Amino acid sequence: MKRRKILVGNWKCHKSFDEAITLIAEIVANVPLELDRTVVLCPPFPYLAEAVRRTRESPVKIGAQNVWQEDSGAFTGEVSAPMLASLGVEYAIVGHSERRQFFLESDECLARKVARALAWNLTPIFCLGERWEDREAGQTLAVVQRQFQAVFALSAETTTSLVIAYEPVWAIGTGRNATPEQAEEVHAILRGLAMERWGSAVGEAIRILYGGSVKASNIDTLMAMPNLDGALIGGASLSAAEFLRIVHFQG
Ligand code: PGA
């Protein structure tokens, strides 16, 4: 099955507003309308409204880096799915390993975030991945399976727009990416789990991105793997030239 590839730039906590606007302009100018892949930029929250405005005439989509697990209420500092939807934001990263590590986000809270995003027609990019000590202990599959099962309560119908991002924690920001074969092994297993849970049509259609030290120099070999449907790019998405080379990967 041909799945449309998705390239997502996760800017994390980087860039001033002016720098962000410049980066958006450089990317928009170099992503043609007829491109056969989806490009998503995830700037910090305060820049989202302007980012949506500046990408409106282009195929570039805008995503948030996080979303709150309730629609509204007394939750100082949080931003909810209906708020993002009201801005024209179309994607939301959920459960990035930095959120799990520094903000102690649990499987249960992440399941709620995914459900709220889907309820408001935001496409959740649900991140999971093992730490180095898990891999060394032979626990990679057990860890990613447990993390994935957090969203197994979702029905098959709601799951069609779910995007998974496999991001081994040891590969994030380290310059040490998983090899294409290491990533493919986990992606194939995740797809198998999705098929078991939601049936073969959903399992075949679900997009599974790879993240962790993706660069212009390794994107082509990663994207050549049959179960890698795109990439979540951190550091390399902060430079227009590097990110555009990734977007225009060969294949
Ligand atoms: P990196 O980050 O590309 O800088 O490794 C990826 C991510 O955290 O999404």
Look at residue 216 and tell me if it is in a domain: yes
In ligand 1, which atom is closest to the CA atom of 237? 3
DSSP 77-91: T---HHHHHHHT--E
Rounding to the nearest 10 degrees, give the CA dihedral for residues 79, 85, 90, 91: 30
Q: For the beta carbon of residue 108, count every other beta carbon within 10 angstroms.
A: 9
Which residue range is the domain that position 56 belongs to? Answer: 30-243
Find, among 231, 192, 180, the residue nearest to 210 by Cα: 231
Total count of domains within the chain: 1
Catalytic one among 90, 167, 184, 242? Answer: 167
SS3 label, residue 161: coil
Question: pLDDT per residue over 118-132, tens digit each?
Answer: 999 999 999 999 999
The residue type of 112 is R
Pocket of ligand 1 contains residue 213 by CB under 6 Å: yes
Asked if residue 16 belongs to a domain, the reply is: no
The reply to whether ligand 1 has any atom less than 6 angstroms from the CB of 147 is no
| Best of 6, 7, 8, 10 for a ligand 1 pocket test (most atoms within 8 Å of beta carbon) | 10
pLDDT digits (tens, 9 = 90+) for 22-38: 999 999 999 999 999 99
CATH number at residue 190: 3.20.20.70
Q: Is residue 115 part of a domain?
A: yes
Q: Is 187 a catalytic residue?
A: no
Residue 10, domain member (yes or no): no
Residue 248 designated active-site: no
Note the pLDDT of residue 120.
Answer: 97
Does ligand 1 come within 6 angstroms of the Cβ of 95?
A: no
Q: For the chain, how big is the Rg over CA atoms in Å?
A: 17
Burial class of residue 59, CB neighbours in 10 A (0-12, 13-18, 19+): middle
Domain assignment present for 223: yes
Task: Share the mean pLDDT of the chain.
Answer: 97
CB-ligand 1 contact for 242 (6 Å cutoff) = no
Residue 12 lies in a domain: no
φ, ψ for residue 40, nearest 5 deg:
-125, 135
The pLDDT assigned to 251 comes to: 79
Tell me, yes or no, whether 132 lies in a domain.
yes
Give nearest CA residue, ligand 1 atom 3: 234
Residue 175 lies in a domain: yes
